[in-house]
Amino acid sequence: MCWLIPLSRSDKAGYVNRVGEFEYDYYSALARNFKRSFEPETAQAALQAAWTTGVIRLALGTNKKNESKYSSTDIDNGDIVVTIYQFSNVSDTGSDLLGKLGDASGLSLKAALDVKKYAEEQTETIAAIQADTQLPTDVTVDVDLVVFSAFFDKAGYTDRVGEFVLDYLKAIHRNLERAFKEDETARSALHSHWTTGVIRLTLGTNKKNEYKYTETQVDNGDLVVTIYQFSNVSDTAADVVSKLGDPETGLSLKSALNVKKYEEAKNEHLAALKETVGLAADVTVDADLKTLDATVNKLGYENRVGEFIFDDILKALLNNLKRSCADEMAKEAIGEAWATGVIRFAEDKKCKSYHSCDFVDGDLVISYKSENLISNISDIGNDIEGKL
């Protein structure tokens, strides 16, 4: 190791003939701070890659106007160069070098160390995502750390890319766990779309008058999270349910979950209808849910088809049939006309009322204009007696 000694500034500072003592102080401070900064292997590798000559060069510098630096440590042509501006704060010498080195990954050394710091917790979070979604393939993360590091740096959080990528992954985990861990229908939809196991983190730019923070969707089998603004991290992936379709019903996942939510109510209403009318056949519903769902959505009640078809409408039909079937003759006539127990829905643009109930080939057919499907629901079935 070669030590190049500058002209003494210690005499001018009032410490006459003590140059050796103070050079030793600078070297000692450099050694202490290097030991502290470069203990991790990643840091050592970066230092060795940059400091190729083994030379420590002490130099004197002059602060520019309004500057008040004491010392600055840099790499120049493979040498470590300590530039001394003021003979003070010697103990800090070399503490700034860590922030000036780069890593082989393309990150700053500090950013690379931050990534390494959170690597184990990131691995645990990824494993938890796979476990809680029961995804049949390994979960991996695809993120350009250099690009993301620059993004976080620009937001004022320098060299913290490892920390914040982990924060996004934790939020993804929490929201996927909430949406998919306990619901088989939801998991099935997720598995049918997210086939690669890849979580791809990307950056996006809001269009004029847009204020999105993140957006999650499935693209080519990857779960893609696009980050527009570094804020509201906890909401990341909360929107994924609204972007998926249910492979079994062909409905959006949200609509399929709404249908599932009212399954029990539907079965109760159907059993009550059978008992009320005294039918031999079980009461069933023959409905094109995709068409009905599209109609309900168009009317401004998105993803509520189960609520309207299997709860509100069946309940209204039941209440009105109970009233009609209080008369034994009417009950018998309804039972004969409704031989199959099937309830069918039929859009009829010529329907003169909000809804019309008729018996066709033993089925009970509820006709409606699309714009009136969920209007005046309480009246459904009150026209049946007049048609017997």
- Exposure b/e, 288-324, CB count within 10 A at least 16 = b: ebeebbebbeebeeebbbbbbbbbbbbbbbbebbbeb
Name the β-bridge partners of 344. Answer: 286, 365
Buried b (16+ CB within 10 A) or exposed e, 212-231: ebbbbebeeebbbbbbbebe
Each domain of the chain, given as residue ranges in start order, spans 3-101, 112-244, 254-387
For tokens 């049946």, the residue is 384
Nearest to 102 by CA among 91, 115, 111: 111
Quick one: tokens of 254?
Answer: 């949200």
Q: How many CB atoms lie within 10 A of CB 386?
A: 8
**Distance from C-alpha of 114 to C-alpha of 101, rounded to nearest angstrom:** 14
Q: What pLDDT score was predicted for residue 116?
A: 93
pLDDT tens string 65-110? 898 888 888 888 888 888 898 888 988 887 888 778 777 888 999 9
Q: At what angle do helices 253-261 and 184-193 cross, to 10 degrees?
A: 170
Question: Cα(198)–Cα(140) distance, rounded to whole angstroms?
Answer: 5
pLDDT average, residue stretch 280-297: 96
The pLDDT of residue 3 is: 45
Q: What is the mean pLDDT of residues 104-124?
A: 93
pLDDT, tens only, 142-161: 999 999 999 999 999 999 99
